[in-house]
Structure 1
């Protein structure tokens, strides 16, 4: 049973190269060169992890480790599937889906184009707004877990009211 949806870290896009350029900000060229690459060096994984707040500290080393332990084919196929237009048009889905959709974002996200997201037509955007969390970037769940969990908890309460 689908009661609602929380979106964080990825914008709803048309599955295409155009969708990628609309929904995401232009990252530094050295980071972009790593996106979709099957085999990554440690340095390349560190560059990619910067999108999620990696700062070369031991505390955030797990971000690099997660990237290095991701299946090589998945790293390659995920962006390829978008550019080859394999998948559903998420932009159309959020415009027509009846259930509430919560969008929770880090205010300092360097990867997501929230100007684009704000312009999307959501049929049922929770509280009619995107919820931005201060002092957080792309990995809002990790950077501000209490604020994130508070919003998700409120969304769940509202879902219960909405669905009864």
Structure 2
């Protein structure tokens, strides 16, 4: 599940990876992103969560592992109570929060990051947003994938997220979800991800968490699966191996 204003295409390195071909890999474009239609009525968290849940039920014949990136990771965490048969959730660049109380402790906010909550952005803004998603070692190919996704996204998608954060009631208490769920959880980030406060993950109460509080992927920024797919894919395979199948959805 991709993040804010991105697309399923950002997982291209996983779909191409020989070491993952024994897995059934699925990714979808959220409404307003990638190849999906622009339908502003479906851009709010509850509607997006419903899209994720319906797609997961329709496409998964066995209990899946959800991999959510950034905002997509929040949608995956928020969907846990509605998808009791999940095998696990790997949240990438996603600190679980109780909005608005813990946002400042979890995220670093600056003018670049705030562009992801603006409806209207310029070509210069899109370039800044692309750079913000990536670490300093990102290849031209990775930049091209992220840039193309950002250009496809409907700006009203970003505005809807901003409105939901301002309203507060649209965002579930993710701290309560991770505290209470038996579903195995893992949290990962690129070691050069400047959007997050890494020490925040040490404070989380998540009894079903697998491994260390935060798995850091070397030589990567906010999109480690695209920037360092070999290291990320190894982490994914180890998480899948550590999560026994649960009952079907």
In which range does the TM-score fall when normalised by the shorter chain?
0.7 to 0.9
Q: Which has the higher contact order (CA 8 A, sep 6+)?
A: 1
Aligned Cα RMSD in Å? Answer: 2.2
Are the counterparts in 2 of residues 6 and 102 from structure 1 also a CA contact under 8 Å? yes
- With the length of structure 2 as denominator, give the TM-score of the two structures: 0.59
How far apart are residue 135 of structure 1 and its match?
Answer: 1.2
Cα-to-partner distance string for 1:10-59 (whole Å, 9 max, x where unaligned): 2111122x3321211133x3x14423111211111111112211779753
1:66 aligns to what? 149
Runs of 4+ in 1 over 6 A off after TM superposition: 54-57
Give the conservation status (yes or no) of the 8 Å contact 1:15–1:83. no
Unaligned 5+ runs, structure 1: none
Q: How many residues are matched?
A: 160
Instruction: Measure, in 2, the Cα distance between the counterparts of 1:23 and 1:109.
Output: 12
Contact 1:46 1:54 in 2 (8 A): no
User: What are the superposed Cα offsets for residues 60-82 of structure 1, whole Å, 9 maximum, x if unpaired?
Assistant: 13312211211221111113212
Question: Within the alignment, does 1:20 sit opposite 2:112 as a pair?
Answer: no
Alpha-carbon distance in structure 2 between the residues aligned to 1:53 and 1:26: 16
Question: Where do residues 13-162 of structure 1 align in structure 2 (5 Å cutoff)?
Answer: 13-16=97-100, 18-27=101-110, 29=111, 31-53=112-134, 58-59=140-141, 60-85=143-168, 86-160=170-244
Relative to structure 2, which stretch is displaced further, 151-160 or 48-57? 48-57
* Whole-angstrom distance in 2 between the partners of 1:123 and 1:44: 40
| Residues 23 and 129 (structure 1), Cα distance of their counterparts in 2 relative to 1, 3 Å cut | closer
TM-score of the superposition, structure 1-length normalised? 0.86
The answer to whether the 8 Å contact 2:135/2:221 transfers is no
Q: Is contact 1:136-1:143 (8 Å) kept?
A: yes
Following the alignment from structure 1 to structure 2, what is the Cα–Cα distance between the partners of residues 26 and 39?
A: 19
Contact kept, 8 Å, 2:135 with 2:219, in 1: the verdict is no
- Structure 2 portions without partners, runs of 5+: 1-84
Q: CA deviation at 1:163?
A: 5.0
